[in-house]
Amino acid sequence: MALFSRTPDEDDTIVSLVASGLRRDISFGVLPPDARLKLTDLRSRYGGSNHSIREALRILSTEGLVEAEAQRGFRVASATEADLADILRLRVEIEGTALDWSLAHGDVTWEGSVIAAHHALGRAEEAVAAAPDDLTALEWDEALRTFHAALAAASGSPRIIALQKQFYDQSRRFTLAALREARLDFAARKARQAALLQSVLDRDAPAARAALTDNILGDLAPHRTGPVP
């Protein structure tokens, strides 16, 4: 049964819903790396028309989650050790710059949003560590995304915010795979996140950037030995 019913006037809303469903299923491994994406199968699962499916795939291809192949349609992007290293390198640079700019321009309201996002993430990490099921994983994934987005939010640059989101989304598959494989050290994560928050509140840009790098690389960079399963 399709997740979204077809309507007479398919518009940007349908495309956005289909793209969101695809993005989630790619991130959670329902659609594995290198899987072929056939329009008939996608229509059956997500609903919409061939046009709306193609538009959603086009959006995901610009985000780096889907790849178009000449005369062969679309497939889920690869997720190898080299892909991970490249994504993490870009996240460190882009999110580090965004955080520098946020520290320079962010006000008390921004600090409050970072504190709130950190608190929500802490609760979500406790929940997923205690019971790593689909619901807690989904809530944790969203809390982690919100925390990193909050750090960049006061940068004053819509473009760097968009890049932060793009490369964060590309890294989600690896983080969620680490969760499924029980490779996350939640005690160490809590300490890293606390250090990052404190350096932000201290307005210590070098320490904040170093702590952010530790958080991005964290459980992933030292342990990846092959493609995401």
pLDDT of the residue at 224: 42
Q: Is the dihedral of CA 214, 217, 219, 221 positive or negative?
A: negative
Rounded distance, CA 75 to CA 175, Å?
21
- When the pLDDT of each residue in the chain is averaged and rounded to a whole number, the result is 90
Q: Of 5-9, 52-56, 57-61, 194-198, which has the strongest mean pLDDT?
A: 194-198
pLDDT of the residue at 228: 42
pLDDT of the residue at 12: 77
pLDDT of the residue at 11: 67
Neighbours of 220 (CB within 10 A): 19
Mean pLDDT value across residues 37-58:
92
Beta sheet of 36-37, edge-to-edge order: 36-37, 73-76, 66-69
What is the tens place of the pLDDT at every residue in 164-223?
999 999 999 999 999 999 999 999 999 999 999 999 999 999 999 999 999 999 988 744
The full set of domain ranges for the chain reads 12-76, 81-217
pTM for the full model? Answer: 0.82
What confidence tier does 71 reach under pLDDT thresholds 50, 70, 90?
confident
pLDDT of the residue at 73: 86
Architecture of domain 12-76: Orthogonal Bundle (1.10)
Mean pLDDT value across residues 37-63:
91
Identify the CA nearest to 150 among candidates 185, 195, 120, 190: 120
Return the bridge partners of 9, or none.
none
Which fold would CATH assign to domain 81-217?
Four Helix Bundle (Hemerythrin (Met), subunit A) (1.20.120)
Q: 3-state SS string over the chain?
A: CCCCCCCCCCCHHHHHHHHHHHHHHHHCCCCCCCCEECHHHHHHHHCCCHHHHHHHHHHHHHCCCEEEECCCEEEECCCCHHHHHHHHHHHHHHHHHHHHHHHHHCCHHHHHHHHHHHHHHHHHHHHHHHCCCHHHHHHHHHHHHHHHHHHHCCCCCHHHHHHHHHHHHHHHHHHHHHHHCCCCCHHHHHHHHHHHHHHHHCCCHHHHHHHHHHHHHCCCCCCCCCCCC
